Amino acid sequence: MACLSEEEFDGFKDHDLSLSSFEDYDAKSFNCSKSSSMTDLYCIQDKYIVTSEVIGQGAFAKVVLGFCKATNERVAIKKIDKRITQEKNLLERVQSEAAIHLQVSSHKNVVKFKDLFEDDYFLYFVLELCEYGDLRSYLTKQNQGKNCRCSENEIRQFLQPVVEVLYLLHENDIVHRDLSLSNVLVTKDLKCKLSDFGLAIKLDKNKENGGGNRAFCGTPNYIAPELIRDKVYRKESDIWSLGVMFYTVLAGKEPFDGQDRNQTFKNILSMDVKSYLPENTSKEAHDLLNRTICLDYKKRLSPKEILNHAFFWKTDIRSEFSSDSGRETLSSACKPYRPSIYTDSVVSQPTQIDSTERTKPEKISTIRLKPIKSHNKDTIIEIRKDSYVTLHVQRRSGRGYDVFQVSPDGEQINVFTTKTPLGEDDNQCPPSSKSYTYDSLPVKYWQRYAYATKFVRIVRSGTPKVTVYTEKAKCKLMESLDDYEAIFHDGTKISGNLSKDQIRIIESDGKQYNELPARTKDKWKYVCDLLKECHFIESSFRKRKSEILDYFPVRVGANVFVTKNSDGVSSACF
């Protein structure tokens, strides 16, 4: 998204929230039977029904359940007490909240700001309803009240959207100033969205301290040390809070939590950790924490660097399929993350990061993958007939190519130069080539190995490992064990990614959806059952190891195809 200009930002901030500019509502004009949970119903601007069911509470505002009269859509309505805002001179803060929230509301990972109204007593922000509430409460409930811990794969799913929004905010010189698990909300389809911009501000680049804002605010457990010491809030202060969020969901409890606020601040300043990470915490997670929760704010990563950190492209695919993992998702496996702020091109140059600060990439395996090639102006990457992964990068002089070649098992690496790209039958490395094993590969080549790894992952996500045919549909589970595709005999196609909860539906008439229409509910349930069978089959064959046979790819059932009679009626044939 493009950066916001000063004029655009100020235009929203100048919106008049202090004067009554709307027609008076008439509560009596709306007739509704009251219930014990939704008493004192009234209507604002003849558009939204406001109930008394509180779903959130703050110092001078509360969030209640509401409904859109036209669509019956449920919404969250933030009621801000005008009397308190005037007494405490908070009107400018409310104006800033509305301005910033409206600016970023179009981002998919931000709670949508739908409308705003006022009457004599309240300001009303009409917001998107996130049915599962805040992330901390949701995780605690899933863990039967014990803690808010979750797996690293789930952390990628839950907190990666927050980093994306933070990237947008910081690119526009906006700091959130109150990042915490309580301000990340969970929708009914388990999407996480950032909320509550009540403390967010736009930094002044002309001020000292790098545009830092001198104000003491935020949630005590998540406050950065420079805010406690100097009362200066910077972009990097948000990164500290983000690091504490990561730590909290890994350990199940905030790292610096004390008996009271003062003790918590002492723990933060002395880095006295009161909760501990699980023994199986990955080295990538440790590295990310060390580079976000550090006393020197200059050493903290930026949102862009966090999105490109090894933690987000590390994969941990589970072999067993589970539909009742406790998170209400189909699988807790997580595909490597490709940040949306970068190009979608498969062969674009990797973002340049100091290779000495990167974690060694996972080992490549091209078993069962068919030859495929992708290229752009300066780069060619391919899986060859011999299953080697070959990366050609044109030299800066424009004369020749640097070749990086990896064996099918990822163990052997050859590095050499050539005047022209290798042909299909060029299998011999020149005598001048340098050879390494995976364990001895120099750090300076890790980035290219990681680039090849990402390419292989993409190919695996589209290569069937298990295919099941039934009288209704054909279902493919890909080599990634995460991506899938089901084609019904009436022409309906359902595909997606399990861990990211992504789904794409193409109906027989060509209409496409990224959400599940009610009429396809039965088909989706059928696809879920087929995926369970696919994972069971994959697990069974994988455990039945053979030195003679590679059982995959596996096909189970009769191959069915569809024909149409003279009346145009479809029928399945075997």
Annotated binding site for ATP: 79
Q: Three-state DSSP class for 531?
A: helix
Q: Measuring CA to CA, which residue among 176, 162, 163 is closest to residue 100?
A: 176
**Spatial separation of the C-alpha atoms in residues 540 and 470, rounded to whole Å:** 19
Helices (H) and strands (E) in the chain, counts: 13, 27
Query: Contact at 8 Å (CB) between 186 and 157?
Result: no
CA triple 346-349-355, angle to 5 deg? 125
Name the residues annotated as catalytic: 178
SS (H, E, C) 3-36: CCCHHHHHHHHCCCCCCCCCCCCCHHHCCCCCCC
| One-letter amino acid of 292 | T
468 has which bridge partners?
475, 556
For the chain, how big is the Rg over CA atoms in Å? Answer: 27
Neighbours of 314 (CB within 10 A): 20
**Spatial separation of the C-alpha atoms in residues 217 and 256, rounded to whole Å:** 17
Residue set of the binding site: 79
Query: Contact at 8 Å (CB) between 492 and 478?
Result: no
| One-letter amino acid of 134 | D
Q: Measuring CA to CA, which residue among 41, 51, 46 is closest to residue 23?
A: 46
| Terminal C-alpha separation, the chain | 50
- DSSP code of 362? P
Q: Which two tokens stand for residue 574?
A: 């075997």
